[in-house]
Structure 1
């Protein structure tokens, strides 16, 4: 790890840079934002090391329609910077939605947005590079960023209870088309039937917040029938999840905790591994994080993330941890636009268990070293 020490000494001695401004225009506002993250992974695992740099940008717009209605929209795009020129699949849309806000009745929008379960997951997804991955997966039902969701939100519960917030979400059926094999984990995990979800949170004036969220979706016929050809794929009619969490954010201290359970939802492994991965029949997920912001700009954090699966029907057994690690990170804010970080993921999965090698699940530690400019 000699290279790690050299890089650590470098990232904590980078000189500060000038800040960038955000663009706004009168009552019709358009905020431009983005960041460039120059990040390098160090690991004994070949897939988990090397350049992971990327550029992310987007805009959020607001327009006043009348004294009661406001229109808004958001778009966010990600471009990998570690690919050769002309490479395919090196960029994608993260978010793209449009909506209306009523002065009393709340917000409603439609498009590509965060799933309702992420309302609680966001309490612990606070690390500079890792974290937030016990069960949250992009385009897998309503766990993370996903497409085709109509979301309604109301803050302060119709102005009746200050701090009480309600969220409701509907997701329409979708079976993506692409180059993936129909029976692969990548293909099956990203399918979904009609789904519904809701969240409820309460913010106190002492920095303490609590939240809960539930979601249930129909599974496609392909998802349900996949179990016949590969017993590692769950076979239930519905994909369901519930989660609870709490956070404390005051006096430079941040504490976050989340617990969630999923049914027939969580994908694991890689398509090109020996057994090709699968979809767990049940998972129990825990995430904890503790952080402190110093006056100097240094913010250390200690976190624990785990996902224990049941009903795997794998050759190696039914109960396995799919994710389990301790994370130690340090972020240093050079100014409001420039920061640098070290994020070290200490993997606690058993490297001697054939289940992980056979399903393409890495068991090695990873150190991420990054320098970020954001505007």
Structure 2
């Protein structure tokens, strides 16, 4: 790892890939900033009425502190803004962690965070309106997106003109996630044993390849112990929002994905994204996603999800973005009634 990677690691963890943060304090190796974004959109579908919605609005507080000998501590708290409904659930936790980064020894993080698995799986999860969905199937418990109560470690090896090798490790302890009725009786959910994950990546110039493995046992309510396991590979070229960007993801999974509320015993997941940002700041994209699998080991393979979206994003300024998207529901298996969706709105980065 080097100083360039150190700065990039903290910046990515603190501010995110697309966020703009306002630095309120910077003195003697200590910084404090506020970031996030607020989105408002009109959205609807073939089966639902048009409504006013929001798209992953959030606010975060970020701090870094240079503790010497090449070590930097950083902390982040991030909350979803459910401002359209108000009430007591206006804020819900998205992220909360403490990190320690060194220019040689790498980066360790403890708390609710973006998992190493997502470093590889999230390369196509870019557009504002419609993006990757299968990553978020039970993601906080399985550690595929924002992972609850995780310890992680990341580092990278610079190879000069030959590129860069990166790796990450993640661990989550055992926990219960059960739903109860008004009589305090368990009606749904699962008990999760310890989970482990590994992420590997190789990048050279504008190209990146990645592989990640995620495993751990769980016991669903009223069922026997099973293993939830995923092997996933990805490839990407370019930088989203800057000229051409292409990304593709494939995952082979057991008990990781869902068909509605049913957990699939086996599943294959596919995601592809092609985007091109014009010099005028107009970013056009096309993305495709499919999940196919079996409800049980003995059942036949069926399509659980298949969709394609055409989208546009326009940067009026670096902090204010307009977006529009139309998602085609392609899953008409077994005479299923499809439900195309659309969204049109704006996002303001704090």
Q: Give the TM-score, by structure 2 length.
A: 0.84
Distance, in Å, in 1 between the alignment partners of 2:179 and 2:269 is 30
Residue in structure 2 matched with residue 350 of structure 1 by the alignment: 332
Matched, 1:374 2:311: no
Q: 1:197-212 counterparts in 2 under 5 A?
A: 197-205=197-205, 207-212=206-211
Contact 2:243–2:276 (Cα < 8 Å) also in 1:
yes
Paired residue for 2:264, among 264, 267, 280? 280
**Could you list the per-position Cα deviations for residues 10-48 of structure 1 after superposition, in whole angstroms to 9, with x for gaps in the alignment?**
xxxxxxxxx9844341220112112110112121223x8
3-state SS of 1:118 partner: helix
Contact 2:259–2:305 (Cα < 8 Å) also in 1:
no
- Report the more deviating stretch, 147-156 or 89-98: 89-98
3-state SS of 1:25 partner: strand
Distance, in Å, in 2 between the alignment partners of 1:257 and 1:102 is 31
Per the alignment, do residues 245 and 200 of structure 1 end up closer, same or farther by CA in structure 2, a change over 3 Å counting? same
Residue in structure 1 matched with residue 74 of structure 2 by the alignment: 72
Per the alignment, do residues 30 and 258 of structure 1 end up closer, same or farther by CA in structure 2, a change over 3 Å counting? same
Matched, 1:334 2:338: no
Per the alignment, do residues 21 and 69 of structure 1 end up closer, same or farther by CA in structure 2, a change over 3 Å counting? closer
Please, which runs of 5 or more residues in structure 2 have no aligned partner? 1-19
Contact 2:47–2:339 (Cα < 8 Å) also in 1:
yes
Paired residue for 1:252, among 219, 243, 247? 243
Residue in structure 2 matched with residue 195 of structure 1 by the alignment: 195
Q: 1:103-118 counterparts in 2 under 5 A?
A: 103-118=103-118
Distance, in Å, in 1 between the alignment partners of 2:143 and 2:209 is 20
Distance, in Å, in 2 between the alignment partners of 1:177 and 1:30 is 37
Distance, in Å, in 1 between the alignment partners of 2:274 and 2:318 is 22
Contact 2:111–2:148 (Cα < 8 Å) also in 1:
yes
Q: Give the TM-score, by structure 1 length.
A: 0.79
Matched, 1:128 2:103: no
Matched, 1:214 2:216: no
3-state SS of 1:336 partner: coil
Q: Which structure dedicates a bigger proportion of its chain to strand?
A: 2
Contact 2:178–2:186 (Cα < 8 Å) also in 1:
no
